[in-house]
Structure 1
Amino acid sequence: MPAAERLPAPGVNTTGEREELLAKGELTVVGRISGASNAVLLCTVAYGGASTDCVYKPVRGERPLWDFPDGSLARREVAAYLVSEATGWGLVPPTVLRDGPYGEGMVQQWIHSDEAAAAGGASGADGLLALVEGGEAEDGWKPVAFADIGEGRTALLVHADDPRLRRLAVLDAVINNGDRKGGHLLAAPDGRLYGIDHGVTFHVEDKLRTLLWGWAGEPLTDEARSVLAGLERQLAAGAPLATRLAELITPAELAAVRARVDRLRHTGVHPQPSGQWPSIPWPPV
């Protein structure tokens, strides 16, 4: 991956302008990002004198999954971005569905994250995830689960009690994210936190798998309750968000999103693992 992001030219500052750049710009493939389960291509995109680096995931490069319809992951990534934008939290980088060199696919703005700041690889006070030998989470950290670290030793997986992570935990509950790994968290140089890789989302069954269980069963924040109330209105039949989502996910999946928002509003707490599905993704990073 490149050491830094090529930011759009001056004047490309709003979300709409970034979406336009991604949707209408000329895509040039730079290389393939190794280690991903599906085809992930690093590209540049240029339009109207502006350019940026981006990720392009063509539908034809998606590996079939037993529990998701073939060729649907790119659309789910775009749907996750739309819901993120509807919350006002901006937790997912600008993402569009468009044609590209290898056919239709998802195109998402590249977010530079220094290795030292990347949530999935950081530890200690400056990180968002850590393994703690000793069995107790310190102040400012939330316990998740015990992990086998070899040689008969275990350590407690913890994440920071960080409002950015807490918002992302709410978003994941809404979109039913089945794959919130540490490597899918990107801490940008400006202090913003982004979540990426949202192809395994919006299933009608409870598929929530995440490393962000630290608030499970705790009351939602006032901010989250307000956001969920607004999201419920935006998901009503005929509302612009609902109309756009209907183009990306199935009617049953859209109904399930509405049901999850309604359940979160009425319980008023962060969800807990169901016990019917592995609660932590593998591998966790």
Structure 2
Amino acid sequence: MSEQPVDPELRAPADDAEALQLLRDGEIDLEGRLLDASNVTLVGAVRTATLAAECVYKPVAGERPLWDFPDGTLAGREISAFLVSEAMGWQVVPPTVLRDGPFGPGMVQLWIDGDEDVDLPAFVRRDDPALRRMAVFDAVVNNADRKGGHIIPTPAGHVYGVDHGICFSIDPKLRTLLWRWAGKPLPAEAVAVLERLGDELRGDLGEELHEHLTRREVRTTQQRVAELLRTGRHPEPSGEWPALPWPPF
């Protein structure tokens, strides 16, 4: 979670449920913009009468058109990534909601403070269970942009992933720094998670994703899960699409 608020009358969310409540209901007070982001990405504080935290707000109106993704869909893809993350139970994606904000509807996500002592280029090369879970998650959502800067190890030891606006394409677009396990058998933990996820995608989770993705995109997500279970292995670069994001960090 983000750091405790300065205001002594407020406290930071104690868990993800409180964080989601805060993000849905809180008043957003913008403080600045992340200038290195390709789409408009604003940061600020979000507060209710009792809770406060830092947040990231990406208005749909600030999305840059892309040739391979429909206009105005990136916020919905971010929400979809959070829903899949929650269903998998690994908390890869920080608490995220879709709501109205100062510049219209957009994605609002809890700001995560990373561990400044971690050397990211070295960290992403580690055989770390959290990174391996993230690699499985990215294969499910077809993440086209897993840069090093989109990986946030926290001082508490949890590892989050952010910036999931270009996920869920119906075409194979996996681009990631996390190819360490390419072609290797999936851990038993991942197989169990994928089996459960497949069931949920055919049920309530699939219906919830239909609010943000096309039916074909949801169906292709189901197929990616089925293929991972069929092979029992981490995917390998296809050779038809650049395997690494650029820039990598």
8 Å CA contact retained: 2:168, 2:217: yes
Query: 2: CA distance between counterparts of 1:281 and 1:197?
Result: 13
Matches within 5 A, 1:2-17: 5-7=2-4, 9-10=10-11, 12-17=13-18
Is residue 36 of structure 2 the alignment partner of residue 32 of structure 1? Answer: no
1:105 is aligned to 106
- For 1:252, the aligned partner's letter is R
Secondary structure (helix, strand or coil) at the match of 1:160 reads: coil
Query: 1: CA distance between counterparts of 2:2 and 2:166?
Result: 26
- For 2:3, the aligned partner's letter is R
1:232 is aligned to 198
8 Å CA contact retained: 1:28, 1:45: yes
Please state which structure has a larger fraction of its residues in strand: 1
Query: 2: CA distance between counterparts of 1:109 and 1:42?
Result: 10
8 Å CA contact retained: 1:19, 1:95: yes
- For 2:57, the aligned partner's letter is Y
Deviation of residue 49 (structure 1)?
1.2
- Larger Rg over CA atoms: 1
Deviation of residue 34 (structure 1)?
1.4
Deviation of residue 10 (structure 1)?
4.9
Would the alpha carbon gap of residues 269 and 65 (structure 1) be closer, same or farther in structure 2, given more than 3 Å must change?
Answer: same
Would the alpha carbon gap of residues 73 and 195 (structure 1) be closer, same or farther in structure 2, given more than 3 Å must change?
Answer: same
Would the alpha carbon gap of residues 81 and 53 (structure 1) be closer, same or farther in structure 2, given more than 3 Å must change?
Answer: same
1:149 is aligned to none
Would the alpha carbon gap of residues 201 and 217 (structure 1) be closer, same or farther in structure 2, given more than 3 Å must change?
Answer: same
Deviation of residue 115 (structure 1)?
2.5
8 Å CA contact retained: 2:39, 2:63: yes
2:160 aligns with one of 194, 209, 224: 194
Would the alpha carbon gap of residues 180 and 274 (structure 1) be closer, same or farther in structure 2, given more than 3 Å must change?
Answer: same
1:168 is aligned to 134
Please state which structure has a larger fraction of its residues in helix: 2
8 Å CA contact retained: 2:60, 2:106: yes
8 Å CA contact retained: 2:141, 2:168: yes
1:279 is aligned to 243
Query: 1: CA distance between counterparts of 2:192 and 2:49?
Result: 38
Deviation of residue 47 (structure 1)?
1.2
2:171 is aligned to 205
Deviations 1:66-103 (A, max 9, x none): 00000100110010011001011011100000000000
Is residue 54 of structure 2 the alignment partner of residue 57 of structure 1? Answer: no
1:269 is aligned to 233
Secondary structure (helix, strand or coil) at the match of 2:3 reads: coil
RMSD, aligned α-carbons: 1.5
Secondary structure (helix, strand or coil) at the match of 1:115 reads: coil
Query: 2: CA distance between counterparts of 1:257 and 1:50?
Result: 35
Deviation of residue 242 (structure 1)?
1.3
Identity of aligned residues (%): 52
Matches within 5 A, 1:92-171: 92-117=93-118, 119=120, 122-123=121-122, 128-129=123-124, 159-171=125-137
2:144 is aligned to 178
- For 1:197, the aligned partner's letter is D
1:136 is aligned to none
> 4+ residue runs of structure 1 moved beyond 4 angstroms?
8-11
- For 1:41, the aligned partner's letter is L
1:245 aligns with one of 206, 209, 222: 209
1:135 is aligned to none
